[in-house]
Amino acid sequence: MAVLFWMSQRNLPPRSVLKYYLYKSTKAVEFYRPVMYLFFLAQGLDFTQIAILEAIYNLTTLAGEIPTGYIGDRVGRRNSLLIGTVIISATLVGIGLSNSFLPLAVLYICWSMGYNFRSGSEDAWLYDTLTDDLSEDQFAHVRGRGESVSLAIGAGAAIVGGYLGSIDLSYPWFVAAAMTTLGVLILLTIDEPETYEQADTSDLSLRQTVSIVKQVLSRRDIRAFVLYYYVLYASVTYLVFVFLQPIFESVVLDLGVSETQVESLLGWFYAAYSLFGAGLSYYTGAIRARLGLQTWFLVLPFGVGGALVGLYFFPVLALPAFLLIRGLSDVTRSLAGQYINDRIETMGRATVLSAMAMVSGLAVVPFQLGSGVISDVVTPSFALAVGGVVLIVISIGILLWEPPVKQER
């Protein structure tokens, strides 16, 4: 293959892939992620209100994914990424300035729309760019390396964000906004893939796009996988990111750590969290080659579900469990992207990928609201344990109904 030959001769990826790695490095979520929910709690929000914010985000995803994916197919992947990145940068500033539930609710709508514009277009741009060089089978490998770059840089950002949060919980949001803005400058230098330009999507109507999405979701080799990963697994593991911080705080305080050290420790934990994910993501291609998609997705929900149940009974296990689930997250997302991209066409690709995010966004809403109420009534760790049981039981049901991952081509 052309790209692999090029890399073997020069020991560097092609320029388009290097720019993709640079763009991924500007995804500045780790600056605010270590203190994100502590910030919301400090503004007077309770767990139910935080769950409502997350539900608003995902309902906006539901409403916006297909329209923004359609725009990405019509105006180009790069332009869609630019729009989304600008919206996200402005929203991060707004969140840092907010101090109550209502403005945060409005900003969460904007935040979700920004990611709507990026969600399908990013993977569509990468897959079509690799297709230009006849190396689309390297998607999981390249995407995994991109996630590795993002997470490795995020490790340092998490440490900085933790210390900034110990000074003022709003500071990490402002730094993240500045970092995200650098992504705009990088996106201005990239080109649209030839595969996309040759597809001539100028006459693609919204009705045709919706028809393409329906056809894809009804296919036997995709429908069970959508339920298995995008609906069930993604929804349950999303809860881990919501409740990590309060559970971490509870665990370290029980271990005798001072309250004044919690934010900075969270920064270091997120750094370890990111580095572990970066290490696994770097070997996404090797994992796919050694284990195969079928084995990976067969074992995954049972390992994660068992870890979530275990941390309720043994709270100290929460820290290694979170590291494990975080490390698996990006690898799994890349492998899922490879599986879906291999089974769809360039025409409407961004919309189909956005539809997957839309399905996931809809499915996670009842999980979010239910877990928020359970957390307020019992504890966040109990809510995660319930999620683990649900993950295991429904995974068994899907496997008995229809194998979610078909043999790779």
* Residue 4: band (very low, low, confident or very high) from pLDDT cuts 50, 70, 90: very low
Res. 210: pLDDT tops 50: yes
407 domain-assigned: no
DSSP at 346: S
354 domain-assigned: yes
Q: Whole-angstrom Cα distance, residue 55 to residue 298? A: 29
**pLDDT over 90 percentage in the chain:** 20
271 domain-assigned: yes
- The 10s digit of each residue's pLDDT in 339-374 is 887 877 766 676 777 777 777 777 777 887 888 888
CB of 58 within 8 A of CB of 365?
yes
DSSP at 45: -
305 domain-assigned: yes
Q: Which residue has the higher pLDDT, 142 or 91?
A: 91
* Residue 47: band (very low, low, confident or very high) from pLDDT cuts 50, 70, 90: confident
> What is the reported pLDDT for 153?
86
CB of 28 within 8 A of CB of 176?
yes
> What is the reported pLDDT for 1?
40
> What is the reported pLDDT for 348?
64
408 domain-assigned: no
1 domain-assigned: no
364 domain-assigned: yes
* Residue 201: band (very low, low, confident or very high) from pLDDT cuts 50, 70, 90: low
Q: What is the 3-state secondary structure (H, E, C) of 138-207?
A: HHHHHHHHHHHHHHHHHHHHHHHHHHHHHHCCCHHHHHHHHHHHHHHHHHCCCCCCHHHHHCCHHHCCHH
* Residue 212: band (very low, low, confident or very high) from pLDDT cuts 50, 70, 90: low
Res. 99: pLDDT tops 80: yes
What is the arithmetic mean of pLDDT over 240-246? 82
406 domain-assigned: no
- The 10s digit of each residue's pLDDT in 384-396 is 999 999 999 999 9
378-384, long-range: CB within 8 Å, 24+ apart, which pairs?
380/47, 380/243, 380/246, 380/247, 381/243, 381/247, 381/250, 381/311, 381/312, 381/315, 381/318, 382/312, 383/239, 383/243, 384/239, 384/240, 384/243, 384/247, 384/308, 384/311, 384/312
- The 10s digit of each residue's pLDDT in 311-323 is 899 888 888 888 8
Q: Give the mean pLDDT of the chain.
A: 82
Q: Whole-angstrom Cα distance, residue 268 to residue 85? A: 27
CATH code of residue 108: 1.20.1250.20
Could you give the angle at which helices 262-282 and 284-313 cross, rounded to 10 degrees? 140
DSSP at 317: G
CB of 161 within 8 A of CB of 270?
yes
What is the arithmetic mean of pLDDT over 302-328? 88
Res. 2: pLDDT tops 50: no
- Listed residue (166, 313, 328, 124) closest to 236, CA to CA: 328
Expressed as residue numbers, the domain containing 261 is 16-196+204-401
Q: Measuring CA to CA, how many Å separate 78 from each of 186, 380, 382, 391?
A: 10, 39, 42, 36
Q: Whole-angstrom Cα distance, residue 359 to residue 238? A: 14
pTM for this entry: 0.69
Res. 196: pLDDT tops 70: no
Phi and psi at residue 402, to the nearest 5°: -165, 130
Domains identified in the chain, total number: 1
Res. 91: pLDDT tops 90: yes
Helix (H) or strand (E) holding 229: none
Which amino acid, residue 341?
Answer: N
Res. 103: pLDDT tops 70: yes
- C-alpha angle 409/338/309, rounded to 5°? 110
Tokens of 204: 């693609």
- Listed residue (177, 189, 191) closest to 86, CA to CA: 177
CA–chain centroid gap for 272, Å, is 18
